Amino acid sequence: MLTLKDVYVFYGHVQALKGISLEVQEGELVALLGANGAGKSTTLMTISGILRPRSGSIIYKEHDLTKTSPEDIVQLGIIQCPEGRRVFGGLTVLENLWMGAAARKDKAAIQKDLEWVFSLFPILRQRARQTAGTLSGGEQQMLAIGRALMARPQLLMLDEPSLGLAPLIVESIFNVIRELHSQGVTILLVEQNARKALQVADRAYVLETGQIKLSDNADKLRTNPEVQRLYLGGPSS
Residues that bind other proteins (CB under 8 A): 48, 50, 70-71, 73-75, 79-80, 82, 86-91, 95-96, 98-100, 102-103, 133, 135-137, 140, 147-148, 151, 164
Nearest distance in Å: CB 223, other proteins? 34
Torsion angle, alpha carbons of 157, 140, 103, 21, to 10: -10
Give the separation between CA 25 and CA 188, rounded to whole angstroms: 10
| Contact in structure between 218 and 202 (CB atoms under 8 Å) | yes
Closest C-alpha to 217, from 44, 31, 34, 41: 31
Say how far apart CA 169 and CA 205 lie, in whole Å.
Answer: 25
Environment class of 156 (CB within 10 Å of its CB; exposed 0-12, middle 13-18, buried 19+): buried
Residue 102 or 171 having the CB closest to other proteins: 102
Least distance between other proteins and beta carbon 132 (Å): 9
Whether 78 contacts 154, CB under 8 Å? yes
Q: Are strands 29-34 and 203-208 parallel, antiparallel or unpaired?
A: parallel
Shortest Å distance, C-beta 105 to other proteins:
10
**Which residues are paired to 2 by β-bridges?**
24, 60
Distance CA 73, CA 66 (A): 10
Minimum distance, C-beta of residue 101 to other proteins, in the bound complex (Å): 8
Least distance (Å) between residue 69 CB and other proteins: 9
Closer to other proteins by Cβ: residue 128 or 230 = 128
The distance of closest approach from Cβ of residue 74 to other proteins in the complex, given in angstroms and rounded to an integer, is 3
In this complex, which beta carbon is closest to other proteins, that of residue 122 or of residue 133? Answer: 133
Nearer to other proteins, 73 or 227 (CB): 73
* CB nearer to other proteins: pick between 101 and 204: 101
What b/e string do you get for 35-71 counting C-beta neighbours within 10 Å, with b at 16 or more? Answer: eeebbbbbbbbbbbbebebeebebebeebebbebeee
Q: Which is nearer to other proteins, 7 or 81 (CB)?
A: 81
